[in-house]
Structure 1
């Protein structure tokens, strides 16, 4: 498994759009889960945090191949994908990718 994480700085005043995104994804979990299955993703998580008065998302992904996830995700097979990318574009000011250090899965391969 591979993993990736990023700090997503949000545009000022994007709270309502962020909540709309969260509410929509939560209400369409089966469709979102189908997307993850198509991309061989085992987990994708988002967290909110504030740094120096600026709002951010912390994003985490674990998948069979991170490169494959990004390749497949842009094919927009599911309508939820289009919604997700449009909303992320609307609320994102910048993205800082994190450097992977360690990921400890419960069932570590030996």
Structure 2
């Protein structure tokens, strides 16, 4: 499994758009889950974060291949993908994608096989 995370710096006054995005995804979970299955994603999580008065979205993915996740999602097979990318473009500040450097990911089902 691979994993990735990052911050998306939000444009000012986009809280309503973020809530629209969250509620749309929440009401279309079957479609969102179908996207994750297509992408071989095990976990996708999103969080709101505020740092020094600046607002961000924090995302986390665990999948077979992070590169493949983005390749498949950009095909916009599901209408929810198009909605997601269009809304993210509206709310993300210029140069607002901050990629995190992976250090460690410990699955809850870890067992030592030695």
Same fold (TM > 0.5): yes
State the alpha-carbon separation in 2 of the partners of residues 41 and 57 from structure 1: 19
Q: Does 1:30 align with 2:30?
A: yes
Q: TM-score, normalised by structure 1?
A: 0.97
State the alpha-carbon separation in 1 of the partners of residues 20 and 14 from structure 2: 10
1:43 corresponds to which residue?
Answer: 43
> What number of residue pairs does the alignment pair up?
110
2:19 corresponds to which residue?
Answer: 19
Specify the SS of the correspondent of 1:47: strand
Q: TM-score, normalised by structure 2?
A: 0.93
Aligned with 2:106 (options 93, 104, 107): 104
Offset, 1:107 = 2.5
State the alpha-carbon separation in 1 of the partners of residues 3 and 59 from structure 2: 11
State the alpha-carbon separation in 1 of the partners of residues 80 and 19 from structure 2: 15
Specify the SS of the correspondent of 1:87: helix
State the alpha-carbon separation in 2 of the partners of residues 2 and 69 from structure 1: 11
1:69 corresponds to which residue?
Answer: 69
Where in structure 1 are there 5+ consecutive unaligned residues?
Answer: none
Offset, 1:108 = 3.1
Equivalent positions of 1:79-98 (< 5 A) are 79-93=79-93, 94-98=96-100
State the alpha-carbon separation in 1 of the partners of residues 58 and 75 from structure 2: 24
State the alpha-carbon separation in 2 of the partners of residues 61 and 89 from structure 1: 19
Where in structure 2 are there 5+ consecutive unaligned residues?
Answer: none
